[in-house]
Chains A and B, each alone.
Chain A
């Protein structure tokens, strides 16, 4: 099945550090979304982006919808231990709920 290229695959950082991850696609999307999944849980929506070039924040999280509509990045500032989890990007090509997910970035934060 199709997956988006997400990097890095994993990150091991110290509490307080900033984090950046990105996602690229060979095709364009109308919507980019970022989800976080904790162990034993389903993904939880963090940020949704609807317009090329859009920059959106949610607390310490900031995400951007790439101008080419083929990429997106997520930044987390001043990481804390509860940021630990797997972060997924997802693209939506049309007016559907059929999302193409990225391969995921595992984030580990050391106190």
Chain B
């Protein structure tokens, strides 16, 4: 069974630009969560989607948004990038119905903002 796939793995942007990250969950998994990982703040929850609906949202500004498609694939978007948005963005999937926190993470998309 293929794991969680995230693209791109690495990207460099400049302040003010916007970025879209993509995540393909494990086949059959309907829940997709996004986390931001930085040295200073650690792993922080961004949002979770289930059946194309946002089910939970973390404490991030409105510049961070996401969506989920009917095939469970998900994208997250960050607009008007700031230097502090440099981070590893991790996508995680789970089977979805029972929210146990048992997540399967992808390798992440490492974003550098210059």
Chain A residues in contact with chain B, CB under 8 A?
A: 1, 3, 31, 33, 35, 40-45, 48, 50, 88, 90, 92, 94-104
Contacts and interface: CB of A to CB of B under 8 A. Distances in A.
Interface of B: 4, 31, 33, 35, 41-45, 48, 55-56, 58-59, 90, 92, 94, 98-108
Given A40-B107, A41-B107, A43-B90, A97 B41 contact: no
Contacts of B104: 45
Contact of A96 (B35, B99, B106, B108): B99
B56 A97 contact: yes
Nearest to B49: A97
Contacts of B100: 31, 48, 50, 92, 97
Given A42-B107, A42-B108, A98-B48, A92 B101 contact: yes
Nearest to B42: A3
A40 B41 CA distance: 18
A103 B42 contact: yes
Contacts of A43: 43, 90, 103, 105
11 contacts: A1-B58, A1-B59, A41-B107, A43-B105, A45-B102, A45-B103, A96-B55, A98-B56, A99-B35, A101-B35, A101-B42
Nearest to A45: B102
A96 B56 contact: yes
A102 B44 CA distance: 10
A88 B35 CA distance: 14
Contacts of B92: 42, 97
